[in-house]
Structure 1
Amino acid sequence: MKDHSGRVALITGAAGGIGSAVATALHRRGASVVLVDMHSTDLESLAAKLGNQRVAIAHADVTVREQLDAAVATATDTFGALDIVMANAGISSGATAATVRSVEDGIFERVIGVNLVGVWNTVRAALPHIVDSGGYVLLTSSTYAYLNGLANAPYAASKAAVEQLGRALRLELAGTGATAGVLYPGWVATPIVDVAFGGDEIATALVAKGFPALLRQPISADTLARGVVRGIERRAPRIQVPARWVPMSLLRGVINPVYDAILERDKDVRALTAQLDARPR
């Protein structure tokens, strides 16, 4: 992989999971990194792990634009530039699955606030500097941008919207010297996927019913990070990791209607969904 010495990367959601792994991978290749997340000792722990060299910390709630402005200022004040931004901070719909009927009030708004508005705030705060440097913005979406959001509608809706934001942004930046891309992680072994792999028995059963075994194998955050860094180096419009999801993405217009029709008629899926609907709120 390329040497990123002299480049400055800002990553939201950097305290753990995908954000921490990508920050570590970029730092190892010489980049200076700005770690952005809520107040947490995890940020300090990651900075210490990286040796506290070429590292800055910015505590921010991505739903508050002014705090993202301050985080970007930390990057430019500390390192003098901003070349890479990864709008990565995100949350799940909760520790248990729910349908649109059964989900608790406020969950949708909270997920959209972090996963979509947070991405918007990050991009808006960083974009002037990215254009000035001819840099690259990466928006973390998900395979849920094109999969059916059964039992996970708030999360799926937020990630589909992020995809559209990233696609529009790339075209709008054409000719400026800067560009953007969208990251589509599959299942990654972080706490956010626990609900689908044993954390909630109904969600686990739905995943087993809805996805072939090959697609149900989570990868490590470090494996994902290696793919992300390669995509950043190519200034890729789309980064799909693992690559086994690529055919489903490319053929979504054909696969999705057929798959939806099959699952709609599946008696087991109907029964599991009814169980979710019956859960007390």
Structure 2
Amino acid sequence: MTKYNLAGRTVVITGSTGGLGSSLAVALRSRGANLALLDLDGDAADSQARRLGPAAVARGWAVDVTDLDSVESAVGAAAHHFGRVDVVIASAGIAAVQPLETMHPDLWERIIDVNLSGVWRTFKASLPHVVERRGYLLAVSSMAAFVHSPLNGPYVASKAGVWALCDATRLEVRHHGVGVGSMHPTFFQTPMMDAVQSDPVATTLWRGNRSGLFKMVPLNTVVDAAVVGIEKRSDIIVPSYSNAVAARVPGLIRPLIDRIGFRDNVIPQAIELASQV
């Protein structure tokens, strides 16, 4: 496949000031991409943008991924400012380690709202712009989509949902020439992981993330894999080689089902019928 050259393209990143979002922004800017940096903390996004260059190449907006109007407004403003939106990375996410028995319902709903519904809102708001450019949508899922840890119910459910959402959306938009990918990193060093490392519950569950399935990988491993995956418009990105089997086996049959079960002409017909209801 021809490399998807990022120079001059506009990339939208939600959760842009987080550990992964910040590093992705630097790496993508080094590829010549223009950056629309979206974060709940608009002032932090503005400061981040100024560090990366003038407003012509990087600009920040405040956005709340739990509010569709907020996401639509920010993505629309980015499209107007840069004249295009080519790639969208849904990176905003939160986590908590608690058992179902004692978890407050509000916490469950908040994690699902940010991690899963937030991706849906980001894709929903961005799709008209990305279709125009025959671009690429990427959601940050996790190895938690495939390895379902106890005391982590809403997080693993949200990340498995993101994986499924990406697979479904890919079929819906392929006739537009739009690519959709999900990324599935294992644990890697970010400020969020600092909290995990200081939590005795988490360190008991995942053995301090020192070895085995839960061993942390370097942040740059995740960032490099993400950039390469975007340039390849990959369906799935798995930064850690040691976890590749666990991530890829569940999806081995999916491409066959996609080809046989949902032929190219069927999906546009179904979308057209749905629009008439």
| TM-score where L is the length of structure 1 | 0.83
| Partner of residue 58, structure 2 | 55
Distance in 1 between residues matched to 2:248 and 2:122, nearest whole Å = 28
State the shift of 1:252 in Å.
5.2
User: In structure 2, what is the equivalent of residue 142 of structure 1?
Assistant: 142
Match for residue 219 of structure 2? 221
Q: Summarize the Cα distance change of 1:237–1:70 in structure 2 as closer, same or farther, 3 Å threshold.
A: same
Give distance in 1, aligned partners of 2:76 and 2:30.
23
- 1:265 aligned residue: none
Residues 83 and 106 (structure 1 numbering): CA distance in 2 closer, same or farther, change over 3 Å?
same
Secondary structure, counterpart of 2:32 in structure 1 = coil
In 1, Cα distance between equivalents of 2:230 and 2:184: 13
Aligned position for 1:264: none
Q: Give the one of 71, 77, 83 matched to 1:68.
A: 71
Report which stretch shifted further, 200-209 or 82-91: 200-209
The two structures have a TM-score, normalised by structure 2, of: 0.84
Give the alignment of 1:1-281 within 5 angstroms: 3-52=5-54, 53-93=56-96, 97-197=97-197, 199-208=198-207, 213-251=211-249
Instruction: Count matched residues.
Output: 248
Q: CA deviation at 1:3?
A: 4.8
Give the secondary structure class of the aligned counterpart of 1:175: helix
| Matching residue's letter, 1:59 | A
Alpha-carbon distance between aligned partners in 2 of 1:45 and 1:222, rounded to the nearest angstrom: 22
Query: How much has 1:177 moved relative to structure 2?
Result: 1.0
> Deviation of residue 173 (structure 1)?
1.6
Say which SS state the counterpart of residue 158 (structure 1) adopts: helix
* Residue range with higher mean Cα deviation, 117-126 or 218-227: 218-227
Aligned partner of 2:269 in structure 1 is: none
Question: Given that residues 163 and 182 in structure 2 are in contact (C-alpha distance below 8 angstroms), is that contact kept between their aligned partners in structure 1?
Answer: yes
Residue pair 1:187, 1:218 contacting (<8 A) in 2 also: yes
Paired residues of 2:38 and 2:62 also in contact (CA < 8 A): yes
CA contact (8 A) 2:5 2:231 kept: no
Mapped to 1, the partners of 2:188 and 2:44 lie a distance apart of 19
- Indicate the percent of aligned positions where both proteins have the same amino acid: 35
1:149 is displaced (CA, Å) by 2.8
Aligned-residue CA RMSD in angstroms?
2.0
State the Cα distance separating 1:222 from its structure 2 match. 3.0
Tell me if structure 1 keeps the 8 A contact 2:6–2:31.
yes
Task: Work out the CA distance in 2 between the residues paired with 1:69 and 1:44.
Answer: 18
How far residue 63 of structure 1 moved from its aligned partner, in angstroms, is 0.5
Structure 2 CA distance for partners of 1:2 and 1:121, relative to 1, 3 Å: closer
SS for the counterpart of 2:175 is coil
Report deviation, 1:220.
Answer: 3.3
Q: Which of structure 1's runs of 4+ aligned residues deviate more than 6 A?
A: none
The change in CA–CA distance for 1:252 and 1:127 in structure 2 (over 3 A counts) is closer
Judge conservation of contact 2:13–2:37 (CA < 8 Å) in 1. yes
Per-residue deviation at 1:212? 8.2
Q: State the Cα deviation string for residues 56-106 of structure 1 (Å, max 9, x = none).
A: 11101010001111111122111111100001111112xxx3111011231
Deviations 1:192-227 (A, max 9, x none): 233443x22122111129x88143332333331111
Structure 1: tracts of 5 or more residues without a match:
254-281
